Chains A and B, each alone.
Chain A
Amino acid sequence: MTVWEKLRPYGMVAPSIVIFSMFFIYPIFYMIYLSFYDWNFISPTKTFVGLQNFKDLLLDEDFRKVLSNTTVYTLLTVTLTTVLSLLLALWLNRKGFFHAFVQGAIFSPHIISLVSISLLWSWLMDPEYGLLNWVIGLFGFDKLQWLSHPGTALVSLVIVAVWKGLGYNTLVFIAGLQSIPSDIFEAAALDQSKPWTTFRRIILPMLSPTIFFLVIINMIGSFQVFETIAIMTQGGPVNSTNTLVYYIYENGFRFFKIGYASAAGVILLAIVGALTIIYFRLLSSRVHYR
């Protein structure tokens, strides 16, 4: 083997490794480094404070609220998106103009910018003059406060996220459904399997890699939620929609507390890392690969 042949693979992955290191690995280590300092990002002196930032964070009741908000938001968004899009996929997985149209319609939010979506839904959810309250009014229900009340604000954001994510998830599920070999369904039909049994014994196991993929992707997305919050609520009212990434942004760029924000970033890293590992451990035994 010549030297070139030995080096070639390294040369070929080098660009991506360099970019990955510069924009992912280096910032992570820099963030961990900063989390031990008290710094405003500008002044020439960084003060080493050890674990003080972490102590402050854990004692801060706002931060606990932020953690619980993020968790609730993620759980609701992931569960609702996955279940609803699976149901939609089962319904839409057939040919015909109508089904193609519906599929296109629910996919369209995916390609709209989140900023536009946020503005749109802010109008729809306006407590006094919004379309949603008008519709609710037609059925004789009381008006909802939507984003203006701590009790409903987070759920309102979940609705937006689910609406936005539904189309993409459904599309992936349909692709998953279509890749299940038809001979399995034929065999099931010959055995006169009931629809529920077919779903539970064939579709679910065969779809498990898809489900697993979507759950992970949706979790990642939900943990990073930022735009809708920055535009629709700014973490309010009363911190009811303040989530981790927004909290980090606020502390870093509005309150000039980079060390504190980095410490929160490290906690985000730890939580998401742990969750991902747990997921892989738990699900790898149950995910059915062909």
Chain B
Amino acid sequence: MNKKLMAVTLPVLMSMTLAACGGGNTATNNAGTNSGNNAEPASAAAGNTAKTEAPAEKITIHYWYAFGGKIEEAKQALVKKFNESQDRIEVIAETQGGYDDLHAKVQAAFAAGNEPAISDLEIASTGVFARSGMLQDLTELAARDNDTLKLEDFNPGLMGNAYVDEKLYGLPFMRSTPILYKNVTMLKDAGLDPAGPKTWDELEQYSKTLKEKGKVGMTMPADIWFYEGLVAQSGGTMLSEDGKTAAFNSPEGVAPVEFWKKMASEGLIKIPVGDEAGATADKDWANQLSAFKFGSTAGVSGSLEIAKGNNFEMDASFMPANVSYGVPTGGCQLVITSKLSDEEKEAAWEFLKFMTTAESTIYQHKYVGYLPTRLSALESPELQEHFKQYPQYKVAVDQLEYARPRPMETAYPEVASIVKTAIEKAIIDPKVTPQDALNEAAEKANKLLGK
């Protein structure tokens, strides 16, 4: 009898434990964020009071950001500068991984009531976050403080993703476009014109010559951001005007996949997959296995250092054109979450304004390579001089002329994932044509977008 009881209860118990571990991601993630959240501010705040003997009303707010390396260094430096510039607000900056991780954590923290006051937000996700009610509408604050803020000073090419349903939800912070990075030394060694390819055809010709020399033209993940660029270069769009239907299965959307498939099948480009795909592309380029890479302008400073360290000359230019040049913008803006007290909201707004001043944007541009977000920054003698010295930094700025905002539909993250799968399928499977793969993806996407 006992044994029988055991045989029933044990599996039930075990399966529950399993499901808790498997399905209950929510719970674990929340718990993780909670504990992290509670522990750090406590110690940091304690350290503060001891150090500066700040007035009792000093406000502590949390700022969550994405990415490490130079990007993190720049963000930390700006935060430090802000904290030292005044004694009413203490900002605690906390890293949260890449954009996907950051978004997931902000979302989970919001549900648990532990969200940061201010956060980086990848521009294409502004729609989802704003429509879910997670973001503070900044329209009034911006109007109130426009004397100092000067909204019209922000580069208009970067404001497309700042508004959702005509309300302002974020201000451009570390914004980018993808650009083409070139290993000039390798091109010269192969007897190629170091100016690099201006069109898709030229990219193919360059890659053929490089292949004969035992290299690949480019290592490039089938990244949705690059794809958006190539669709724009072909004269198409990802979604219809109203955002209710997919437009990427048009000839303009199919052309990039046809191009990639042809290049990959001839061994002219290498397409890595997985979380590390982007890193692999960078690595191949750094190790001079590939001559080109697509990458965010955020990589300019890092790439210059790599080129110097590995003894080659590097340059950057526009992404090659098909019928025209074209790129998506990218990067992040700063947003304020919606459930703050008035006091915290003002503190976060103060910090946000500081982070987006002309001075701050010049600093981050020179340190990392992201776009200068303000027109006054672009015109400043400091940057004009900088551009003369390092023309690589100017490429993305000039390319903004051909830039367009990213789609911000609520379903877009999922649509992007579906498109990416379709692209991979079309490239890898010889039996699947790009048109068929994208048609199938469009059918799925339409269901999501139509909701």
| A-B CB contacts (within 8 Å), total count | 172
Candidates B7, B21, B100, B274; contact of A147 at CB < 8 Å: B274
Which residues of the partner chain B approach A245 to less than 8 Å between Cβ atoms? 22-23, 25
Q: How far is the CA of A249 from the CA of B424 in the complex (A)?
A: 21
Task: Say whether B95 faces chain A, with CB atoms less than 8 Å apart.
Answer: no
Closest residue of chain B to A34, judged by CB? B26
Q: How far is the CA of A255 from the CA of B413 in the complex (A)?
A: 6
Task: Say whether A3 faces chain B, with CB atoms less than 8 Å apart.
Answer: no
Which residues of the partner chain A approach B75 to less than 8 Å between Cβ atoms? none
**Are the CB atoms of B7 and A280 closer together than 8 Å?**
yes
Instruction: Give the size category of A's interface with B.
Output: 35 or more
Q: How far is the CA of A129 from the CA of B11 in the complex (A)?
A: 46
**Are the CB atoms of B27 and A27 closer together than 8 Å?**
yes
Candidates A231, A254, A266, A269; contact of B275 at CB < 8 Å: A231
**Are the CB atoms of A264 and B133 closer together than 8 Å?**
no
Q: How far is the CA of A127 from the CA of B17 in the complex (A)?
A: 38
- B105-148 CB mask vs A (1 if < 8 Å, else 0) is 00110110000000000000000100011100000000000000
**Are the CB atoms of B22 and A268 closer together than 8 Å?**
yes
Task: Say whether A252 faces chain B, with CB atoms less than 8 Å apart.
Answer: yes
Instruction: Give the size category of B's interface with A.
Output: 35 or more
Which residues of the partner chain B approach A281 to less than 8 Å between Cβ atoms? 7
**Are the CB atoms of A224 and B22 closer together than 8 Å?**
yes
Determine, out of A6-14, A104-112, A170-178, A270-278, the stretch whose residues face the partner at the interface.
A270-278
Interface of B is mostly: helix
Determine, out of A76-84, A160-168, A235-243, the stretch whose residues face the partner at the interface.
A235-243
**Are the CB atoms of B18 and A269 closer together than 8 Å?**
yes
Which residues of the partner chain A approach B29 to less than 8 Å between Cβ atoms? 253
Closest residue of chain B to A26, judged by CB? B27
**Are the CB atoms of B111 and A42 closer together than 8 Å?**
yes
Task: Say whether B271 faces chain A, with CB atoms less than 8 Å apart.
Answer: yes
**Are the CB atoms of B132 and A43 closer together than 8 Å?**
yes
**Are the CB atoms of B23 and A277 closer together than 8 Å?**
no
Determine, out of B39-47, B356-364, B414-422, the stretch whose residues face the partner at the interface.
B414-422
**Are the CB atoms of B421 and A31 closer together than 8 Å?**
no
Q: How far is the CA of A250 from the CA of B29 in the complex (A)?
A: 13
The smallest C-beta distance from B248 to any residue of chain A, in angstroms, reads 17
**Are the CB atoms of B11 and A43 closer together than 8 Å?**
no
Q: List 18 A-B contacts (CB under 8 A).
A: A24-B16, A40-B128, A42-B110, A42-B134, A128-B216, A128-B289, A148-B271, A224-B22, A231-B275, A233-B273, A236-B273, A245-B22, A249-B25, A253-B29, A254-B414, A265-B22, A269-B19, A277-B12
List 12 additional contacts besides A239-B421, A268-B23; criterion CB under 8 Å.
Answer: A28-B23, A41-B110, A127-B270, A148-B271, A148-B273, A150-B428, A224-B18, A236-B424, A248-B23, A274-B15, A280-B7, A281-B7
Which residues of B line the A interface, CB within 8 A? 7-8, 10-12, 14-27, 29, 31, 100, 103-104, 107-108, 110-111, 128, 132-134, 216, 270-276, 280, 284, 289, 410-411, 413-414, 417, 420-421, 424-425, 428-429
